[in-house]
Structure 1
Amino acid sequence: MEKFYGTGVAMVTPFDENGQVDYAGLRNLINYLIDGGVEYLVSLGTTGESVTLSKEEKKKIFAFTAEVNAGRAGLVAGIAGNNTYEVVQQVKEFDTRGYDAILSASPNYNKPTQEGIYQHYKAIAEASPLPIILYNVPSRTGSNVSAETTVRLAKDFKNIVGIKEASGNFDQLNQIMRDKPEDFLLISGDDPISLPMIALGGVGVISVVGNALPRQFSDMIRLCLKGDFKAAQPAHASMIEFTRMMFAEGSPAGVKTALKTLGICGNKVRLPLVQVSAKLAEKIALETKNLTSPVAVH
């Protein structure tokens, strides 16, 4: 599981002006991230606007991403939902070629009990031909995967190998680190707190900001993993305002604006998401240029 140490990027899905998937833009993004030194890619996580894509679009994007990546970086597929049966069917039917794991967010909206969350992931783990990374993001799902449930799943299913944790609850993170199996991976799901999470024992991040700043972010994460937090801190500090902008008017609208500034892909999003305001877009463009200029790159 060492391929999940470091920086994973929850890739955006580029759309053209007509709202269709922009495969040229997706190719640009994949190559940009790999050239930027990230350790692995996440295709069709929530940042990829997966809930707005049809089954056929998802299938084509998964295959295209594996083809372009061609084994150069680790590759994770986002497969999630709040209908357990449907998620299990998608996992069973998934073409695993080129993929190393499945990232699956806890069910949204239903607000299951901890036992319901456990049974949901149990069904997925028993069906999956690939390792599973849990994803806890209470701000979006409406329910929290407790430390006890995370540890229970980690101990009961060898193919549940880690969790992308975005609760921001350090008491919960402390409990996971104390009680988890030694080889179970704690991965930051929240860009701004990746540095302190690694100090706790986390192994890296699945990042949104990394879409636009792969070199800066992955370099910073590698310094943290070496225990050199003093060297990592200036890079961390330099990205604080940029990171705030990425989420100020919703994700991934912010990071798509940065990617448009960089000439990687366009900034179109699918409803119900909308593009950021003109005022914020101007600020993002300026900060993106500042952070990616030759002087800013170390």
Structure 2
Amino acid sequence: MNELRGAGVALITPFNMDGTVDYGSLGNLIDYQIKEGMDYLVVLGTTGETATLTADERKQVWEYTAERVSGRLPLIAGIGGNNTQEIVKQVDQFNHHGYCAILSVSPYYNKPTQEGIYQHYKAISAVSKLPIILYNVPGRTGSNILPSTAIRLAKDCSNIIGIKEASGNFAQFSEIIRDKPNEFLLISGDDPATLPMMALGAVGVISVVGNAYPKNVATLVKLCADGNYVTARKIHGTLLKITDLCFVESNPCGVKYVLKKQGIIESDAVRLPLVPVGSQTREAIEKEMEIIPN
């Protein structure tokens, strides 16, 4: 899956002020990502507020994105949850036209054992027509995919081809790199960890801040892939503060405000229980935007 090496972005889902999906802004965002050099797009991951979209809305967003991209970039669909039977059904019925892989988050809230996590993904693997990327984000799910479980899945399920890692645990990343099959992909799921993870052997990032700064993130990842960490560190440093601000009042509230200020999307509307960032965060974002090189 060489097409999934490099810089990917977890796309936001723009909304109109009335709460409906803003397809005009979504089209602008997609074109912006392609123009600025992103390598691939993830559609309806956590950053896409997938938990608050209806099944019909998810279908429409997936289909609209595939049509808009029209083969210009690889696409990954986010399909995950904590009801294994329902996720198996969604994956089995997914119209995969235009998509090359599925990103599936580890079951949240239930707090399954490692065996439960293994069996969950094995059930998804059995029906998927596309390769699967595991997604480990313990801060959101309440459970951790241990390296031994990820490696077991990689070895037992030929269509499980990588893991998006957002645990923040570098000992865990190192263990995955040491024990994984050669072609299994370790992907950063946390923007500030991208540079050090790539130094360990990760192949890139699925980025949030890349929604707003795709060229910066794509350049950072390419420099790391080329071993030019001296120059990469400069870009890494310029993105740290804006990334922090994008998460200070929950993702994707901050990055939506940045995109609105950039004129890429019309509104920074989010769906409850999320709310737009407050005045203090807006002021801090605007100040930081003034000093980030484009």
Which TM-score bucket, shorter chain as reference? over 0.9
Q: CA deviation at 1:231?
A: 1.2
- In structure 1, C-alpha distance between the alignment counterparts of 2:140 and 2:286, rounded to whole Å: 27
- Which residue number corresponds to residue 283 of structure 2? 282
* Aligned residue runs from structure 1 range 1-298, under 5 A: 1-265=1-265, 266-291=267-292, 296-297=293-294
Q: CA deviation at 1:191?
A: 0.5
TM-score, with structure 1 as normaliser: 0.97
Q: CA deviation at 1:105?
A: 0.1
Q: Answer yes or no: is the 8 Å Cα contact 1:106–1:135 preserved in 2.
A: yes
Q: CA deviation at 1:288?
A: 2.3
1:151-195 deviation line (CA, Å, top 9, x unaligned): 000011110000000001011111100000000000000000100
Q: Answer yes or no: is the 8 Å Cα contact 1:154–1:160 preserved in 2.
A: yes
Q: Answer yes or no: is the 8 Å Cα contact 1:15–1:267 preserved in 2.
A: yes
- In structure 2, C-alpha distance between the alignment counterparts of 1:282 and 1:218, rounded to whole Å: 27
1:116-151 deviation line (CA, Å, top 9, x unaligned): 000000000011000000000000000000000000
Question: Which is further off, 282-291 or 77-86?
Answer: 282-291
Q: Answer yes or no: is the 8 Å Cα contact 1:257–1:285 preserved in 2.
A: no
- In structure 2, C-alpha distance between the alignment counterparts of 1:232 and 1:248, rounded to whole Å: 24
Q: Which segments of 5 or more consecutive residues in structure 1 lack a partner in the other structure?
A: none
Q: CA deviation at 1:230?
A: 0.6
Q: CA deviation at 1:279?
A: 1.3
- In structure 2, C-alpha distance between the alignment counterparts of 1:283 and 1:139, rounded to whole Å: 25
- In structure 2, C-alpha distance between the alignment counterparts of 1:36 and 1:285, rounded to whole Å: 21
Please give the secondary structure, in 1, of the residue aligned with 2:288: helix
Aligned-partner residue type, residue 127 of structure 2: A
TM-score, with structure 2 as normaliser: 0.99
- In structure 2, C-alpha distance between the alignment counterparts of 1:269 and 1:219, rounded to whole Å: 29
Aligned-partner residue type, residue 282 of structure 1: E
Q: Answer yes or no: is the 8 Å Cα contact 1:11–1:41 preserved in 2.
A: yes
Q: What is the aligned-residue identity percentage?
A: 56
Give runs of ≥4 in structure 1 deviating > 3 Å. none
- In structure 2, C-alpha distance between the alignment counterparts of 1:83 and 1:28, rounded to whole Å: 34
- In structure 1, C-alpha distance between the alignment counterparts of 2:291 and 2:38, rounded to whole Å: 21
- In structure 2, C-alpha distance between the alignment counterparts of 1:120 and 1:288, rounded to whole Å: 42
Please give the secondary structure, in 2, of the residue aligned with 1:28: helix
Q: CA deviation at 1:286?
A: 2.8
Please give the secondary structure, in 2, of the residue aligned with 1:111: coil
- In structure 2, C-alpha distance between the alignment counterparts of 1:121 and 1:286, rounded to whole Å: 43
Please give the secondary structure, in 1, of the residue aligned with 2:291: helix
1:227-247 deviation line (CA, Å, top 9, x unaligned): 110111111111111111111
1:246-266 deviation line (CA, Å, top 9, x unaligned): 111110000000000011112
Aligned-partner residue type, residue 193 of structure 1: A
Q: CA deviation at 1:290?
A: 2.9
